[in-house]
Amino acid sequence: MANQDTDLRCYLTNAGIAAENNSIQLGRKLPVKEMVFGSGLLADGSDPRLQTTMIQEEYAVPCGMLFDPESPTLLVFKSDLPADVGGFHIHEVAIRLEDGTLYGYARGKGDYKPTIEQGATDSVRYAVEMYTTNASNVECKVDLSKVYVDWEDLEVAMKKAEDDLSAHAGAPNPHPQYAMSANTQFLPYDPTRIYSVGEVCYTKAANGKVTYWEWYSNVESLAGKDPLNTANRRIGWANVTKPFYW
């Protein structure tokens, strides 16, 4: 899981800006490929935004990418350094595009990544934060065999799914593309439904005969007016107090 020791601020490089502009002009997404770790030391006076290559690349691994809905310009990249990879100090971390462009570059904290022989027992997750006004144009194709969700992200996803489901279930009309049963015609007679003039339902007699009924009067409440009860039927055209004709 990412933590304060492995969370880094990454700078969008000038090469990355050029790649963004080019992708926008071509109407294409900008594909991120991997997170790159290196042991090279960038001089204190050097601008990380000018980097086009790693100083001393050690290991590259596919990464995942997260958007922050509360900060639309923020991208968060996450990847894992396997337990069996190590033997170097992490002085630089970068995000690389599919075409090899160094999209973002960060100075590492110099922490040492041991190998299994040196005592490593688990992978180490790194989270890299980077800001860009073109975040919506960036995509990251996740290799599910190499990129795994951490518990923090899983909890966030589960909470969002629960909230979305609750909102959906509580909505008065969650599927406006479908007719609601309260407005649908030619359904079985519903004694709890208040029918309006012109609506149609059907009943089935004990012998299995199906009869369709059209509601014809709003003079009285039409709730619970069973069409099979002849007292509720409008006979001919004289009695306007009865809700049916047949």
Residues 124-163 pLDDT 10s: 888 899 999 999 999 988 766 655 666 566 677 678 788 8
Nearby residues of 80 by Cβ (< 8 Å), 6 or more positions away: 61, 123, 124, 125, 126, 147, 148
Q: According to the model, what pLDDT value does residue 233 have? A: 67
- 3-58 pLDDT per residue, tens: 434 567 899 999 999 999 999 999 999 999 999 999 999 998 999 999 999 999 99
Token representation of residue 21: 């502009």
Classify strands 124-131 and 71-81 as parallel, antiparallel or unpaired: antiparallel
Mean pLDDT, the chain, as a whole number?
Answer: 83
pLDDT at residue 183 greater than cutoff 80: no
User: If you average pLDDT over residues 165-188, what whole number do you get?
Assistant: 81
pLDDT at residue 218 greater than cutoff 70: no
Q: According to the model, what pLDDT value does residue 5 have? A: 44
- Determine contact, residues 20/132, Cβ cutoff 8 Å: yes
- Percent of the chain beyond pLDDT 70? 81
Largest Cα–Cα distance in the chain? 99
Which of helix, strand or coil describes residue 236? Answer: coil
Q: According to the model, what pLDDT value does residue 56 have? A: 97
Taking the whole predicted model, whether its pTM rises above 0.95 is answered as no
CA distances from 101 to 63, 89, 133, 234 (A): 15, 23, 18, 80
d(Cα 30, Cα 19) in Å, to the nearest integer?
Answer: 8
- 203-215 pLDDT per residue, tens: 888 898 888 887 7
pLDDT at residue 227 greater than cutoff 60: yes
- Determine contact, residues 146/78, Cβ cutoff 8 Å: no
Q: According to the model, what pLDDT value does residue 1 have? A: 33
Q: According to the model, what pLDDT value does residue 2 have? A: 36
